[in-house]
Amino acid sequence: MREITQTVCCNDVRFVVGRNALEVLRELTGKIAVFHPLWLDPTPIRKVLPEAEYFPVEDGERLKDANNVLVLAKELFERGYDRGDTIIAVGGGSVTDTVGFLASIYLRGIRLVNVPTTLLGMVDAAIGGKTGVNFAGIKNVLGTFYQPNIIIAELSFLDTLPQQELRNGLSEVIKYSIVLDSALYNILMGSKDEIMRKDDEALEEVIIRSASNKLDVVAQDERETKGIRIVLNFGHTVGHAIESATDFKVHHGLAISVGMTCESKFAEELGYAEEGLVEDTLSLLTLYELPVNPDQLDPRPDPYKALKALEKDKKRRSDVLLVPVPRRIGAWTKAEIPVETFKGLTEQCLR
Ligand SMILES: NC(=O)c1ccc[n+]([C@@H]2O[C@H](COP(=O)([O-])OP(=O)(O)OC[C@H]3O[C@@H](n4cnc5c(N)ncnc54)[C@H](O)[C@@H]3O)[C@@H](O)[C@H]2O)c1
């Protein structure tokens, strides 16, 4: 078992990864509410927290409806939860996003522990304090910044995770390696077999490195106001445009895989990146069988719809997009790219 602690603004955030990492839950005191997906057997958690109350919920985007938050808040209130108690969110990003939002508004904030069960959750969604639910058909339109006290990446949950969901999470791991961590890049290049067969030691290493990269960035710029947290958006400008152009039928991890390929090309073409970056990006993504061009996506995104989505990107400032661009593996910089230039490059990349 390995762990790190990072101070983010006014809280210590503790991240623990390993097989049997759930043991850490024994340290909790007070009343404990465990929210978990209906399909997930909570027995491993019950073993360490026999006194807790268990609330099964649907997961996926169905759960992320703002109305569900009020239903869950009512349950907590009726059962007498107060600010000294703890909420545990067990599940993928859909559960940690929704239950995190609930924890942040219930009595103006109740202690939160995230127990991600997908690789994407362990390396990204459960870390960093962004919570969000969908409202009026708009994804993540209601949300807060609210740091969990503890994040527990229990490796045994990954035993049942399908390979495709593993790849979706690896796409974010690859993102950290390209813009922030050349050592992680080398580890990924050298350990594909171990990672894909879910070897504990290999997963522990890539998960803790990813968490540490994300927590470092979040500690410097929790609320994305200092131009540092934007680095986490590498691949996401084109990636979101792809998701939007396919009505979110292409999974986030696959969309940002093509997004990272395109944005590496832009970085080289516009002179931000050293020669070789695109080749290095392609080598790693293809090694993990992630898509690097739009023909590999199902459905194939319509470039025209993707360009329309770019115009509405939240990183847009008047006529420019403020985006992170890699300089070489493990290093990045901020770039202000005119929207028209970005659209032209995206069209070329998605055509
Ligand atoms: N807050 C953030 O910073 C942040 C970052 C990235 C993504 N997100 C959000 O996260 C969500 C996507 O995350 P996700 O892919 O983890 O979502 P998810 O919760 O929808 O899980 C994906 C799928 O995996 C299944 N699953 C979960 N754990 C499993 C396990 N251990 N074994 C087998 N199957 C399992 C789920 O039932 C679901 O079908 C999106 O809503 C996105 O907006 C948030």
CATH of the domain at 81: 3.40.50.1970
Please tell me whether residues 171 and 320 are part of one structural domain. yes
Catalytic residues: 108, 130, 172, 214, 224, 229, 233, 236, 240, 252
Number of domains present in the structure of the chain: 2
C-alpha torsion angle, residues 105, 107, 113, 116 (rounded to 10)? -30
Please tell me whether residues 23 and 97 are part of one structural domain. yes
Residue 183: burial class (beta carbons within 10 Å; 0-12, 13-18, 19+): exposed
Chosen domain end from 160, 185, 209 = 160
Chosen domain end from 160, 179, 213 = 160
Q: Are 38 and 92 in contact (CB under 8 A)?
A: no
Please tell me whether residues 256 and 296 are part of one structural domain. yes
Closest of 57, 236, 233 to residue 133, by C-alpha? 57
Unique residue bearing structure tokens 């067990």: 90
Residue 313 has pLDDT above 80, yes or no: no
Chosen domain end from 160, 180, 199 = 160
Please tell me whether residues 199 and 217 are part of one structural domain. yes
The residue segments making up the domain with residue 28 are 2-160
Average pLDDT, the chain: 96
Which atom of ligand 1 is found nearest the CA of 97? 1
Which atom of ligand 1 is found nearest the CA of 60? 20
Unique residue bearing structure tokens 């949300």: 143
Please tell me whether residues 34 and 140 are part of one structural domain. yes
Please tell me whether residues 275 and 337 are part of one structural domain. yes
CATH number for the domain spanning 248: value is: 1.20.1090.10
Residue 316 has pLDDT above 80, yes or no: no
Please tell me whether residues 193 and 315 are part of one structural domain. yes
Buried b (16+ CB within 10 A) or exposed e, 337-350: bebeebbebbeebb
Tens of pLDDT, residues 85-95: 999 999 999 99
Please tell me whether residues 132 and 83 are part of one structural domain. yes
Query: What is the 3 state secondary structure string of 83-137?
Result: CCCEEEEEECHHHHHHHHHHHHHHHHCCEEEEEECCHHHHHHHCCCCECCEEECC
Residue 145 has pLDDT above 90, yes or no: yes
Please tell me whether residues 210 and 69 are part of one structural domain. no
User: Which residues have CB under 6 Å of ligand 1?
Assistant: 37, 59-60, 64, 91-95, 97, 117-118, 120-121, 124-125, 128, 130, 140, 157, 160-161, 165, 168
Out of 120, 207, 215, give the residue to mutate to test ligand 1, the one with the largest number of ligand atoms within 8 Å of its CB. Answer: 120
Please tell me whether residues 211 and 348 are part of one structural domain. yes
Query: What is the whole-number distance in angstroms between the Cα of residue 306 and the centre of ligand 1?
Result: 24
In this predicted structure, what is the pLDDT of residue 317? Answer: 76
Closest of 87, 35, 93, 107 to residue 64, by C-alpha? 93
Please tell me whether residues 190 and 101 are part of one structural domain. no
Residue 314 has pLDDT above 90, yes or no: no
Query: What is the whole-number distance in angstroms between the Cα of residue 119 and the centre of ligand 1?
Result: 8
In this predicted structure, what is the pLDDT of residue 207? Answer: 98
- From residue 37, how far is each of 58, 87, 98, 148 by CA, in Å? 5, 14, 12, 19
Backbone Cα Rg of the chain: 20
> Which residue has its alpha carbon closest to ligand 1 atom 33?
161
Which atom of ligand 1 is found nearest the CA of 253? 15
CA distance 118 to 182: 24
Which of the four pLDDT bands, split at 50, 70 and 90, describes residue 139?
Answer: confident
Residue 138 has pLDDT above 90, yes or no: no
